[in-house]
Amino acid sequence: MDRLTTNFAGTLFGLHGEPAHERIVVASDAESGLQAVIAVYNTARGPAFGGCRYWQYASDYEAYHDALRLSQGMAFKNALAGLPFGGGKAVILKRPEQMDRTAMFKAFGRLVQSMGGVYLTAEDVGTTADDMRAVQSETPYVSGIPRDNDVYGGNPSPRTAYGVFVGLKAAVQVAMGRDTLDGVSVAVQGLGSVGWDLCERLHRAGAELIVADIDAVRAEKARQMFGAQIADTGRIASVNADVFAPCALGGSITEAVAAECQFKVIAGGANNQLMSLAEGDVLHRRGIFYAPDFLVNAGGIISCVREYLGSADKQSVLDEVGLIAPRVFELAERVKVSGVAPARAAVAWAREMMVLR
């Protein structure tokens, strides 16, 4: 068997040990170079809503598997946020030979349109508001873009960061009994738009920052602006800090990290932080409170949904994102009652909500 195939933790129809996805579309467009996967995990609450990731993967299998995992996470995220949508995700494979980005995203827009509203898209890692404008030229099933006439909308990253901030603060109160972040040390992995905004908020709240990013210039800027310590990207998960905030790509909580890290809290903006639920079990046994990513990083999808529905203004969206904090407290209570790890408790809670509309 091909080595890449053996690393693929799923089947053509879904993830191992999980219900099959409702729909998985693999498509290409020779003229633009588009190669994409759209995965629809579940539409029990409504059409599948989730962003479009544009990334260079080690293999096609890896991209396919990422789409499956991300779409499942979106279903959980939308359910816990009480949104009237199911979960889906798109992955566009980044190729060195691709040249005309606008043409490629127009082709992606046509692909979304062909699904007839079953899947709605928005920004994710590697995509921008301009990309979504190109998508919008071909389909109305898109969000995360500035709208005309001052209608609420645009880049959802600041709302994602705000949700992570309030979720992290609540998790600190749960695990450390502290109602402020003053003097709390936080290791932030990744200084992209969400990670940077989170650092700004943490700095204003008095937190002591340790940061790591593949862009050394950006890390140095964080040192200058926030007084942050700079850690090596390969060692940020092993530094001595109260909180770990993964805000880069997924999979940062490996078996080794779960067994050896010294944090009291893990709460960040990255999707799929745990390699599997088993790592969450290890964290729980060690007394580390993990605030699941699909609970605390829901601010972006809340923003995109309200923009798409035309049902909110900036303050009402922030108020809705702020409800992430009481949901963290509710999760902690569920963990206390059930005795299961937060990750498993959150999945069970999300599955309950997926059948309630």
Contact 177, 213 (CB under 8 A): no
For the chain, the helix, strand and coil percentages under 3-state DSSP, each to the nearest 5: 45, 15, 40
Pairing relationship of beta strands 23-29 and 34-42 according to DSSP bridges: antiparallel
8 Å CB contact between 253 and 274: yes
C-beta neighbour count of 91 within 10 angstroms: 28
In the chain, the largest separation of any two C-alpha atoms, in whole Å, equals: 57
Instruction: Say if CB 92 and CB 38 are below 8 A apart.
Output: no
End-to-end CA distance of the chain: 43
Residues designated catalytic: 89
Q: Using an 8 Å Cβ cutoff, are 209 and 189 in contact?
A: no
Q: How far apart (Å, rounded) are the C-alpha atoms in residues 237 and 191? A: 15
